[in-house]
Structure 1
Amino acid sequence: MRVLVIGAGGYAGSALTERLVEAGHEVVALVRPGRTGSPGAAEVRQGDLADAASLTAAVSPDVDAVVNAATPSGDAALDAAAVDALTAPLRGSGRPFVYTSGVWVLGATGTGTLDEDAPTDPIPIVGYRPEIERRVLATAADGVRATVVRPGIVHGRGGGIPAMLVGWAAEDGGPRVVGDPSVRWPMVDVDDLGDLYAAVLADAPAGTVWHAVAEPAVPVRDLAAAAARATGADGAERVWAVEDAAMELGEPFAEALALDQSVGAEITRERLGWSPSRPGAVADLGEGSYA
């Protein structure tokens, strides 16, 4: 399969590219003008999420599938136009289109664990994203094998949001958490996420939503403590009030880091045979790729 990957040079996109190449696929990396491609890609094409014509041109007839693994722009109209531009050449073809969303669209989950069928209740930083998900899934009626993947907080390879915890621990000499230390984050290793993308491309029916979550609810306090171990710091835990964190990080992101969630992926595991196998987030932070 020849797969166009938007965001192939990014954190998740580079792991996805490696996974697809290992599975015998050819990756066409779409990068912004002036950027380099992703290692392993068979071809590099230039395009920009803000340039709809460049996106449509990149989805040529020789492309068998498209995965949008790029970070959303934060602009609802721009992201909607990008979805329309990427799916226009796919309509009526049955070719796959995979859109990357995230578990923050579910909002605070309370005492239960939310599955793939749960209604969305997004926090402000992703407030418009459920509508983008619906826009993607609606293309299934036009002959696109459209699917949505919602990763948890991604860890592994020393990157992602958990790298912030390591940086804070080094700065403070001990763990730092935003808001209530008892909040929980759904977690997934970046290479397990790559495995799920490959499974979705191979087997997922049109119009479906999948959760990329290996660990449904990891206490942030445990993640922050592991981050401190990675740096050799042994100081006391610092609780960073959301309003104080917002002054440095911006209110929407600070609120997202303080979000308590428990998110499951049993439907994804059962229907696609996805079986995450990499070390858990606490082990990865304390003794793995961040140490």
Structure 2
Amino acid sequence: MRVLVIGATGYVGSALAERLADAGHEVVALARPGRTAVAGAAEVRTGDLADPAALTAAVTPDIDAVVHAGPPSGDAEADAAAIDALTAPLRGTGRAFVYTSGVWVLGATGAATADEASPTDPIPIVGYRPEIERRVLAAAEDGVRATVVRPGIVHGRGGGIPGMLVGWARADGAPRVVADPAVRWPMVHVDDLADLYAAVLADAPAGTVWHGVTEPAVPVGDLAGAAARAAGVTGEPSVWPLEKAAAELGEPFAQALALDQSVSAGQARDRLGWRPSRPDAVTDLQAGSYA
């Protein structure tokens, strides 16, 4: 399969490009002007998510599937235009389009565990993303094998938000959490997530949503403690009040870090045979890629 990967130089996209290449697929990376080589990619094409014409031009007839793993712009109209531009050449062809969303669209889950059928209740940082999801899934009605992947908080390879926890611990000399150590995060290793994308590309029916989560609800206090051990420090987590975190990080991101969720991904295991095998988040933080 020849796969165009949007965001192939990013945290998730780079792991995906490597996974697809290892599986024998031919990866075509879309990159901004000036980038001539991308790890795992057989070809690099020039484009930008803010340039719909360039996006459409990149989806040539030899492309069997498109994975959008690029970051959202924060502009609903721009992101919608990017989706339309990428899916336009795929309509009526049965070719695959995979869009990367995230579990924050589900909002706070309370005592329940959200699954793929749960209604969305997005927090402000992803407020318009459910509409983008609907736009993607609607393309299934026009002959696109369109699907949505919602990753949890991604860890592994020393990156992602958990890497920020390590940096905070190193700076403070103690673990740090936003608002409440009891807040729970759904977690997924970046390489397990790449495996899920590969399974979705191979077998997922059009119009479906898949959760990329290996651990439904990990207390952030446990993650912060493991991050501190990776940084070589100990102690009980210090709580960063939400208003102070918001002043430094911006209110939308601070709210996201304080979001309490429990999210399942049983559909991917049951219907796609997804079998995550990498270390859990706490182990990865304290003795794996962050140590």
Smaller-chain TM-score range? over 0.9
Partner AA of 1:220 in structure 2: V
Deviation at 1:162, TM superposition (A): 0.5
Partner AA of 1:242 in structure 2: L
**Would you say 1:218 and 2:218 are equivalent positions?**
yes
In structure 2, the partner of 1:26 is 26
In structure 1, the partner of 2:13 is 13
Which consecutive unaligned segments of at least 5 residues does structure 1 have? none
What SS class does the counterpart of residue 201 from structure 2 fall into?
Answer: helix
Q: Show CA shifts across 1:180-235 (max 9, x none).
A: 11000000000000000000000000000000000000000000000000011024
In structure 2, the partner of 1:61 is 61
**Would you say 1:228 and 2:231 are equivalent positions?**
no
In structure 2, the partner of 1:50 is 50
1:129-144 map, 5 Å: 129-144=129-144
Identity %: 79
What SS class does the counterpart of residue 114 from structure 1 fall into?
Answer: coil
In structure 2, the partner of 1:203 is 203
In structure 2, the partner of 1:122 is 122
Partner AA of 1:85 in structure 2: A
Query: Relative to 1, partners in 2 of residues 1:253 and 1:36: Cα closer, same or farther, differing over 3 Å?
Result: farther
Partner AA of 2:21 in structure 1: V
Query: Does structure 1 conserve the Cα–Cα contact (< 8 Å) formed by 2:225 and 2:236?
Result: no
Query: Does structure 1 conserve the Cα–Cα contact (< 8 Å) formed by 2:102 and 2:150?
Result: yes
Q: Show CA shifts across 1:75-94 (max 9, x none).
A: 10000000000000000000
Query: Does structure 1 conserve the Cα–Cα contact (< 8 Å) formed by 2:181 and 2:237?
Result: no
TM-score of the superposed pair, with normalisation by structure 1: 0.99
Query: Does structure 2 conserve the Cα–Cα contact (< 8 Å) formed by 1:30 and 1:37?
Result: no
1:150-229 map, 5 Å: 150-229=150-229
Partner AA of 1:70 in structure 2: G
Partner AA of 2:84 in structure 1: D
Deviation at 1:267, TM superposition (A): 1.2
Deviation at 1:36, TM superposition (A): 4.5
Output the CA distance in 1 between the equivalents of 2:93 and 2:45: 22
Deviation at 1:35, TM superposition (A): 3.0
In structure 1, the partner of 2:243 is 243
Partner AA of 2:7 in structure 1: G
Query: Does structure 2 conserve the Cα–Cα contact (< 8 Å) formed by 1:154 and 1:160?
Result: yes
What SS class does the counterpart of residue 71 from structure 1 fall into?
Answer: coil
Output the CA distance in 2 between the equivalents of 1:170 and 1:153: 21
Q: Give the RMSD, CA atoms, in angstroms.
A: 0.7
Partner AA of 2:26 in structure 1: E
Output the CA distance in 2 between the equivalents of 1:188 and 1:50: 29
What SS class does the counterpart of residue 108 from structure 1 fall into?
Answer: coil
Output the CA distance in 2 between the equivalents of 1:36 and 1:235: 46
Deviation at 1:118, TM superposition (A): 0.4
Query: Does structure 2 conserve the Cα–Cα contact (< 8 Å) formed by 1:8 and 1:37?
Result: no
Output the CA distance in 1 between the equivalents of 2:271 and 2:16: 20
Output the CA distance in 1 between the equivalents of 2:165 and 2:216: 19
Query: Does structure 1 conserve the Cα–Cα contact (< 8 Å) formed by 2:68 and 2:98?
Result: yes
Query: Relative to 1, partners in 2 of residues 1:178 and 1:36: Cα closer, same or farther, differing over 3 Å?
Result: farther
Task: Identify the range of structure 1 (281-290 vs 32-41) with the bigger mean alpha-carbon deviation.
Answer: 32-41
In structure 2, the partner of 1:104 is 104
In structure 2, the partner of 1:148 is 148
Query: Does structure 1 conserve the Cα–Cα contact (< 8 Å) formed by 2:15 and 2:191?
Result: yes
**Would you say 1:90 and 2:87 are equivalent positions?**
no
Task: Identify the range of structure 1 (233-242 vs 116-125) with the bigger mean alpha-carbon deviation.
Answer: 233-242
Matched residues, number:
291
What SS class does the counterpart of residue 130 from structure 2 fall into?
Answer: helix
Output the CA distance in 2 between the equivalents of 1:102 and 1:44: 26
Q: Show CA shifts across 1:127-174 (max 9, x none).
A: 000000000000000000000000000000000010000000000101
Query: Relative to 1, partners in 2 of residues 1:37 and 1:120: Cα closer, same or farther, differing over 3 Å?
Result: farther
